[in-house]
Amino acid sequence: MTRPHDAPQPRILQLRELLDRANHAYYADGQPFMADSEYDQLLAELQSLEVAHDDHDPTSPTARVGGAPIDSFRAVPHSLPMMSVDNTYSEGDFRAWYGRCADSLGRPPAVTCDPKIDGVAVSLRWVDGQLAQALTRGDGQQGDDITANVRAIRSIPLRLRGTPPRMLEVRGEIYMPTSSFEAINESLEQEGEPLLANPRNATVGTLKNLDPKVTAKRRLAFLAHGRGACDGVVVAGYWDFLGLLRGLGIPVSQLTKPCLGVDEAVAAIEEFRARRAELPYAVDGMVAKIDSFADQATLGATAKSPRWAIAYKYPAERKETTLLAVAWQVGKGGTLTPRATLAPVTIAGTVVRHATLHNIAEISRKDLRIGDTVIVEKAGEIIPQVIEPVLAARRGSESIIVAPAECPACRGAVEPEAEGSPRLLCTNSACPAQFRERLKWFVGRGQMDIDGVGDKLIDQLVDAGLVRHFADIFLLQKADLLALERMGETSATALLAAAASSASRGLVRVLSGIGIRLVGDAAAKTLGRAFPDIDALLAATPESLEALPDFGAVTASTVVRVLHSEAMLEEIRRLREAGVGLTSPIYKPPPEQGSHPSGEVTPFAGKTVVLTGTLERFERQALAELLESLGATCPGSVSKKTHLVIAGEKAGSKLDKARALGVEVWDESTLIERLVALGVAIPGHA
C-alpha cells in the first residue's frame, strides 16, 4: 500500500484514472478509445512509476499483470447456492414454461432475455467497492477460490465506480473471446503442441492454473448475468439490477432485452438466433428470466434449478468441409475409435479440424469416404460430428475407409468387442496407448482426483519414462517434475501434495480408476460395500460377485479375470507398496447393511433403486448417498434386478422401461413419506 507520508504522484493518479476509463470503455461500454499497444505502453509507464515511488495500490491497473503463483485453490461455501438452469429446445416447450409461471403468479409476467455465453460460471463479490472474492460454481454449494486469477482479468473492475453498495455479489460468465482462442491454438500448432478443444475448456484450464500470469496473458473477459447475496442494493427486478451494474462499471451484455410477455420473448430469441454468429465469443442460446425479484421468490426452485428461468438452446450449427483422413485412436479399454481430420472450418465460433466418427459401422452406414465433402455439426456446441457426406459433390476419386487389422499403437491383434459388435478392441493388455489413456482416467476427478495432473503432463511423464505403472504417480520426486518442460517449483510442490492426498481415497476410487472393463463408479461402489479390502475382493468367486446388485455373469467373470491377471496383480502389488489405500471406506458387515441408527433394518436394505427425472426436495447425488446409507444400491440404469424406481418431473426412458418390466415406481411424495417414517429429516418438510 502507499506509505502514509507519500501522496501518490500526479502522473500515477492520472495514469490509473486513464487506464481504468480505457478498461471500462472497452469492456463495459463496448466503445474503446485506445489501441492495445498504447494501453500496454501506458501500463508499463505506470508500473515503473509505482516501483520508483514505492506506491502499490491493490486496485491499480498494474495489479492485473498477475501476482506470484499460488499453492492451491481452497474450497469456499457460496453465500447463496449457484444453481444451474433447465434447458429447452423448442418454442412449444418455452411457451409451456412461461405458462406455468403465469399460472403460478396469476398473471403474465415480464421477462428479460440474456445471451447464453458458453463460458465458466463464477460468483464475484465486492466489499465497500473493492473486489474481495471470486469463486467458481463448483458443486453449487461451494466453489474454488480463484480470486488471484480473476484479478488479472481486465474486464472485471478491481474498484467499482460511483457509489457502490456495502456488499455486492454478482454471478456471471468468464469466457475466452474467439480471437484469443484461435491465437492460442495457432501458437500451439506452430510449437507442435496439442490444440485446445474449445474456448470453454480453455477458459476452465486458464482459471485453474496456479500462476495468475497465465490468466493475464490469455485475455479472458466477463459478463454479468445474475445476483448473489447483496447488502445495500434496492432494485425491484433483473433489468434494473443490470442498470445498476452498468453504472458501477461491471460489464453486462449489450444484447439483453426486456420483454413484456411470451410473444415478445419468442421474438427476441428468434432475432438473436440470426445475430449470434457475428459475436466475438461462443453463444449457444438465450436465457429467459422472470424479471421481478418478488415473482422469482414466489416461483422458487427445485433442488437444482430455479423455476423462474429457462435456457432456450439453438440447434447445432452445420457447415460443409472436406474429410481429409481418418486416424484410429486407442482408448483406455483398448477400444479403437476413428477420428476424422477435416479441412479447417469455423463452426459456432471456433475452428474445427477434427471430429468423431464413432465406429466402423457408423462409417459404413453413412457411406463416408476419404475425400468426401461432408456436413459437420457441433453436438451441444462442443463436440464436432460428421453428419453425412454430400453425395452430389462426389467426383469418383474418394477412397473407402477400412477398419485397421492391427492396433496402430502397438501392432497388436484387433478383434470385435463381442460377436457382431461394431466396436474394435486392441487385445494387447500391454499396449502403451491403452496405458496412457488409462492413466489419464486414473488421475481424473471421479477417480483418484489428483489435481494438477492433466493430459499434457501425463504425456510428458510417460514419454520421459517416469510413469510406467499407476503406482509411479505416487512415487514421483520433486526433481523428476522440475526436469519437465514448463514445470515450476510451486506447481511441482502442489502436484506432489495432491498425489499424497489422493493415496488415501480408498478402494472404491482405485477400482473405478484402474480400468476394469464394465466397472465404473456404480459398480465400484457395489464392490466397496460388499468387500472390506482388496484382499477380500481377490478371494471372491464369479458366483459371489454375480449375486451382487446389478452384477450379471459377464461383469462378474470379467472382474475376476482382470483382477487375477498377471498384469493387474502386479499393479495392485505396486499400489500397495506405494502406500495407496486399498481398504473400503463404505464397507459394512452384512448384519449391519441397511440398518437404521436404531438398529432396525430399513425398507431399502439390499434393494436396487434407480432415480430418474427432476426432484424438488433432493439433489440427485445427495439422495443417492442417503439411500445408499440406508442399504440401497443406486445404479444409473433400470434392469430386471431393479426393485424400485423413484420418478420426478420429466422422467423419461427409465420410467418407461420400469413400467414395461413391472418395477415398482414411487413419486417424490411417497419417498418423503417413507423417509419421514424412518425418522429421516427432510429439508422443508414440517
Residues 290 and 308: beta-carbon distance below 8 Å: yes
**Measured between alpha carbons, how far is 590 from 580 in angstroms, rounded to an integer?**
26
Give Cβ neighbours of residue 201 (< 8 Å, ≥ 6 apart).
Answer: none
Q: Is 654 a catalytic residue?
A: no
Residues 96 and 262: beta-carbon distance below 8 Å: no
Angle at 423 between CA 417 and CA 428, to 5 degrees: 55
Q: What proportions of the chain, in percent to the nearest 5, are helix, strand and coil? A: 40, 20, 40
Paired residues of 230 in beta bridges: 168
**Strands 609-612 and 644-647, bridge-based pairing:** parallel
11-17 own/partner pairs: CB under 8 Å, 24+ apart = 11/49, 12/46, 12/49, 12/50, 12/53, 12/55, 15/42, 15/45, 15/46, 15/49, 15/61, 16/46, 16/57, 16/60, 16/61
**Measured between alpha carbons, how far is 429 from 411 in angstroms, rounded to an integer?**
12
Instruction: Pick the closest to residue 470 from 435, 446, 495 (CA basis).
Output: 435
DSSP string, 27-38: IISS---S-HHH
**Measured between alpha carbons, how far is 686 from 681 in angstroms, rounded to an integer?**
9
H helical segments located in 256-334: 262-275, 293-299
Instruction: Pick the closest to residue 210 from 453, 505, 501, 462 (CA basis).
Output: 453
Instruction: Pick the closest to residue 347 from 383, 373, 312 (CA basis).
Output: 383
Kind plus residue range of the DSSP H or E element containing 373: strand 373-379
DSSP string, 566-616: HHHHHHHHHHHHTT---B-TT---GGGTTB-TTSPBPTTTT-BEEEESB-S
**Measured between alpha carbons, how far is 115 from 286 in angstroms, rounded to an integer?**
4
Q: How many CB atoms lie within 10 A of CB 686?
A: 4
**521 vs 507, 532, 563, 634, CA distance in Å?**
11, 17, 17, 11
Paired residues of 306 in beta bridges: 301
Assign 352 to helix, strand or coil.
Answer: strand
What does R_g of the chain's alpha carbons equal in angstroms? 28
Residues 640 and 610: beta-carbon distance below 8 Å: no
**Measured between alpha carbons, how far is 171 from 309 in angstroms, rounded to an integer?**
14
Cell numbers given for 156? 472485471
Residue given cell 428470466 in the structure block = 289
Task: Pick the catalytic residue from 116, 289, 304, 525.
Answer: 116
**Strands 399-400 and 414-416, bridge-based pairing:** unpaired
Q: Which DSSP category does 145 fall into?
A: B
Q: Which DSSP category does 470 fall into?
A: G
Q: State whether the Cα torsion 46-48-52-57 is positive or negative.
A: positive
Catalytic residues: 116
